[in-house]
Amino acid sequence: PPNHFKVLRPREFEVHEISKHGIEIHEKFSWISDEGTLPLYMMKKYCIDTLEALRKVKKVLNAGRVGFAGLKDKDALTYQLVTIECTEAPKYIRLGNVELTLVGKVSKHLKPGDLWGNKFIITIDVDNVERVKEVINEINNIGKLLMFFGYQRFGTRRPQTHIVGKFILKREWSKALEYILGHPYPTESRKSQEARRMFDEGRYRKALKLFKDLGLRYEVLVLSKYIETNNPYSIYRRSFCS
C-alpha cells in the first residue's frame, strides 16, 4: 500500500542520464570525447527544470544554440549531458542550483532521444520492512516492474498537461489555450488561481500582470502573444514550435 512508502526531499531522488553509448552520467564524470569543436557539458541541477536551467546558462555564457537528450525532473538532483554553443567554454561554472563541467567536444548538438535511458535512485522512509520484502519478492516473481504513469507525468499542482495534449491533437486550439492559462486548481497558490480566473473572465492584461509577478514564464509567453495576435493557433506554433 502507498502509505508504507514515503519519498523524502528532492535530494533523495536522483536521476542519472544514460547516454546512447551506455555511459551513466554522475557526479564524478570525466572527459569522454574529442570528436569535434562543440563543447559537451555534464549538467548537474537541483530543483529546477532542464529548460529553465539551460536558459540561465545561455544568459551567463551569452551562448547560441544548446542541445540536450532529454528533460529531467525538476524536484530532484539530476545529471545529464548538454551541448552549448559558446565562444569561450569554461571548464566549470556554477549558477546557484545549476553546475556545468566540461567533459568533451563533439561534432553536433545533442537532440531529444539521444540517450539510452535514465537511472533513478530513490531514497524512501520505510515503516514496514516486511512489506518491502514482500513487494520485492512480488517484483522478482513477475520478472519486471510495470510502467506507471501518475502525476509525475501530468503535473502535481496542475494535473492537466494530458488535457492540453488531447486538445492539441484534436486541433482544438482555443480549448488547449484555456487549459494552459485558465481553469485554476485548488492545489495552486491563491495568486495563481486568481490570475487564471482573470483569464477565464476575459481580463487578459490583469491576468498577464499577475503571471509576471508570479514568474510563470510560459503563461506570460503564451498570453502575451495571444493578446498580440488573438489567434490561438499562431500561439501554439510560435510558442511551442519555435
- Residue 237: partners with Cβ closer than 8 Å, 6 or more residues away: none
Q: What's the burial of 141, exposed, middle or buried (CB within 10 Å: 0-12/13-18/19+)? A: exposed
User: In Å, how far are 26, 34, 67, 81 from 84, measured between CA atoms?
Assistant: 19, 15, 7, 10
Helix axes 204-214, 217-229, angle to 10 degrees: 160
Q: What is the DSSP string of 68-128?
A: ES----SSSEEEEEEEE--SS--SEEEETTEEEEEEEEESS---TT-EEEEEEEE-EEES-
How far is residue 91's CA from residue 126's CA, in Å, rounded to a whole number?
Answer: 41
Active site residue 73: yes
**Could you tell me whether strands 66-68 and 13-19 are parallel, antiparallel, or unpaired per DSSP bridges?**
unpaired
Measured distance CA(4)–CA(67) in Å, rounded:
40
Question: Shortest CA distance to 80 belongs to which of 47, 129, 117?
Answer: 117
Q: Which of 34, 49, 73, 213 is catalytic?
A: 73
Residue numbers annotated as active site? 73
